[in-house]
Amino acid sequence: MQSTRKTVGLIEKYRQHLPVTAATPVVTLGEGNTPLVQAANIPKLLGYPSLQLHFKLEGLNPTGSFKDRGMTLAISKAVEDGAKAVICASTGNTSASAAAFATKAGLKCYVLLPHGYVALGKLAQAIHYGAIVVPILGNFDRALDLVRELAEQTPVTVVNSINPYRLEGQKTAAFEVVEHLDRAPDYLCIPVGNAGNICAYWRGFKLYKELGMASSAPRMHGFEAEGSAAIVQGKPIKNPETIGTAIRIGNPASWKEAERARDESGGQIDSVTDDEILKAYKMLGTAEGIFCEPSSAASLAGLIKHLENGTIPQNTTVVCVLTGNGLKDPDTAQKITTVDLTPVDAEIAALKKVMGL
Ligand SMILES: *Cc1c(COP(=O)(O)O)cnc(C)c1O
């Protein structure tokens, strides 16, 4: 008997829009089809009650970030092409995703990480999925340079977003947004690190418009962290810094295509400060019940900035992409909390006093 509830990954679902054939072995962990959740409280809290705000919860992918969308395709194609090993540089989420899909496919996976700048949960994932993890004494940009060089000298397939299949897989998130809303949003707000995801969404929205699946495409508003805002400043940043370690990138690999996405869509690429990121990060938790990682909150931080300066009108439909799961980085959540966690006597009277009941 055929189950009608069989889980299909995004390659099966969107096969006609992806560079696969019947001969492509599909490596899936059930990625994609993530929720688009409408904000209940933030628009009013910000003073924009007419704002139609939705969050694309990419942290609900199998390894907890949108990277799985590109990785299912990159690893499937690597297997089809006869690869035996894959390699990536990573601020954490790419390595977690690559390790999981490579393991499922029976491939070896090497990951180069910037030592000391990878959130604990992401490192734990890469190790747990059996990758060969190499922390380097250098930042992400250096790690990516080394990966490119190793791939020239040895038979390993690069699965960073310079792998063309990554962005092709990631564009499916835009299809889902259109399908959930029954139209394209007016604006898409998204964090920008290596700048691949903003390009992928733009490809997806453009294609759905061309195919008549949507009558319009959104303006793309991308947000870098101020301490690593290469595109905004128009030059690579030598020592990028930000609390958002997933977007701590000084020389974005998809820089030029991201600028084209911005210009073709009539959008903007701007920056947000770490304080703005953390404010948005907290607000998502306390006002919406959403725990994303700090980097992800750059999308909401940027939306707030652009509502305040009038770049985005308040009477409009906006999707903020929340790229990764907050559980990956419990350290930041704990570090910024002001909640007093001193233990209390296990007695009703003491509890009543502390709880104000
Ligand atoms: C990779 C990543 C980003 C940045 O995406 P780019 O495609 O590099 O711009 C943002 N947030 C999270 C959680 C990520 O893992």
Q: What is the mean pLDDT of residues 301-305?
A: 98
Q: What is the mean pLDDT of residues 246-269?
A: 97
Q: Distance between CA atoms of 32 and 62, rounded to whole angstroms?
A: 9
The pair of structure tokens assigned to 177 is 């947004």
Residue 267 clears pLDDT 70, i.e. is over it: yes
Q: What is the mean pLDDT of residues 307-332?
A: 96
Q: What pLDDT score does 340 carry? A: 86
Q: Is the distance from the beta carbon of residue 192 to the nearest atom of ligand 1 less than 6 Å? A: yes
Q: What pLDDT score does 132 carry? A: 97
Q: Is the distance from the beta carbon of residue 248 to the nearest atom of ligand 1 less than 6 Å? A: no
CA–centroid distance, 82 to ligand 1, in Å, is: 28
Q: What is the mean pLDDT of residues 237-246?
A: 95
Residue 2 clears pLDDT 60, i.e. is over it: no
> Which atom of ligand 1 is the closest one to the Cα of 199?
7
CA–centroid distance, 176 to ligand 1, in Å, is: 18
Q: What pLDDT score does 7 carry? A: 81
CA–centroid distance, 254 to ligand 1, in Å, is: 12
> Which atom of ligand 1 is the closest one to the Cα of 196?
7
Confidence of residue 152 (pLDDT cuts 50, 70, 90): very high
Backbone angles phi, psi at 92, to 5 degrees: 135, -50
Contact between residue 272 and residue 298 where contact means Cβ atoms under 8 Å apart: yes
Residue 299 clears pLDDT 90, i.e. is over it: yes
Q: Is the distance from the beta carbon of residue 320 to the nearest atom of ligand 1 less than 6 Å? A: no
Contact between residue 120 and residue 330 where contact means Cβ atoms under 8 Å apart: yes
> Which atom of ligand 1 is the closest one to the Cα of 58?
13
CA–centroid distance, 67 to ligand 1, in Å, is: 8
CA distances from 269 to 30, 53, 163, 180, 306 (A): 32, 19, 23, 25, 11
Burial 143-159 (b: 16+ CB within 10 A, else e): bbebbeeebeeeebbbb
Confidence of residue 6 (pLDDT cuts 50, 70, 90): confident
Ligand 1 probe mutation, 63, 69, 93, most atoms within 8 A of CB: 93
Q: What pLDDT score does 5 carry? A: 72
Q: Is the distance from the beta carbon of residue 76 to the nearest atom of ligand 1 less than 6 Å? A: no
Residue 3 clears pLDDT 80, i.e. is over it: no
Q: Is the distance from the beta carbon of residue 270 to the nearest atom of ligand 1 less than 6 Å? A: no
Residue 48 clears pLDDT 90, i.e. is over it: yes
pLDDT tens, position by position, 172-184: 999 999 999 999 9
Residue nearest to atom 14 of ligand 1 (CA): 246
> pLDDT exceeding 70 applies to what percent of the chain?
99
Q: What is the mean pLDDT of residues 309-327?
A: 98
Q: What is the mean pLDDT of residues 93-111?
A: 97
Q: Is the distance from the beta carbon of residue 65 to the nearest atom of ligand 1 less than 6 Å? A: yes
Determine if residue 289 is left, alpha or beta; phi over 0 gives left, psi from -120 to 50 gives alpha, anything else beta.
left
Q: Is the distance from the beta carbon of residue 193 to the nearest atom of ligand 1 less than 6 Å? A: yes
What CATH fold (topology level) applies to the domain 67-163? Answer: Rossmann fold (3.40.50)
Q: What is the mean pLDDT of residues 39-58?
A: 98
Residue 157 clears pLDDT 70, i.e. is over it: yes
Given this chain, do its domains 10-61+166-336 and 67-163 carry the same CATH topology?
yes
Ligand 1 probe mutation, 190, 323, 328, most atoms within 8 A of CB: 323
Q: What pLDDT score does 4 carry? A: 62
CA–centroid distance, 193 to ligand 1, in Å, is: 5
Assigned CATH class of 10-61+166-336: alpha beta
Q: What pLDDT score does 32 carry? A: 98
Cross-strand bridge partners of residue 108: 85
The domain locations on the chain are: 10-61+166-336, 67-163
